[in-house]
Amino acid sequence: MRIGRWAAERRRLALVSGLVAVVVVGSVSLWTVSHEPVHDDTVTRADPIDSEPARSPGVGLRPANGLGDPVEPEPVRPVDDSPIDPWWLRVPPVAGDIVGIGADSSGHVRIAGSTDDETLAVQIDHLETGVGGPVDVVLSAGTVRGGTKPMWTPAGESFALFQADGVEQGLTVVLADPWELPDEVRSLVLLDAGTGTVLGGAALLPAG
């Protein structure tokens, strides 16, 4: 009887050990499954986008109106820090008679400005340069003096208007950008284009 009871007790212990092993293994299996990463095939990932470098507002761009038509920018007026208006806004109209200095030059010049479109018109009547070659017609900050011994005294800056040749009965030159003129203009001078010799000039005085 003892042998039979011992065998039965042994079978019972073996059964309990098996159950314990199953419980332990099941616990380990559950822990492992609960910590595995989840892969969801429904998650979409954005592809990387190549970014372009930023451009300055003025590079490669043209201004346009509301209809999309290109618009040319208006010219920017030069910055003038002086509290006094430039000569071409402040003084004209001016006029003067051309007198011969190094040649038999003659004529009459009148200069008038237009504040509407900021232009300056130089009108020369009955111009005779006194020479047969090209002559530079120049606006100068220097002064011209007539009388028995006419002369031109250079001073400051000068601005070349155009080239004349021989005799001109009447011509008008319009300066579209008078800002390029010297700060003060006191005379119109005729210079030989080849040698720079003074041929004549006119003192520019206020005219009605």
Which contiguous run of DSSP H or E holds residue 38?
Answer: none
Please count the helices (runs of H) and the strands (runs of E) in the chain.
2, 11
- pLDDT confidence of residue 147: 87
Task: Report, as ranges of residue numbers, the positions in the chain whose pLDDT lies below 50.
Answer: 1-2, 16, 19-35, 42-46, 49, 51, 53-61, 76
pLDDT in the model for residue 11: 62
Burial of 151 (0-12, 13-18, 19+ CB in 10 A): middle
- pTM, whole model, 2 decimals? 0.60
Residue 26 is predicted with a pLDDT of: 44
Domain boundaries, the chain: 1-30, 87-206
Residue pLDDT, tens place only, 65-120: 555 555 555 554 555 555 678 899 899 999 999 999 999 999 999 999 886 778 89
Residue 137, token pair as written in the block: 């017609």
For 170-187, give one letter per residue: b (16+ CB within 10 A) or e. Answer: eeeeebeebeebbeebbb
The pLDDT score that the predictor gives to residue 134 is: 93
The pLDDT value recorded for residue 97 is: 97
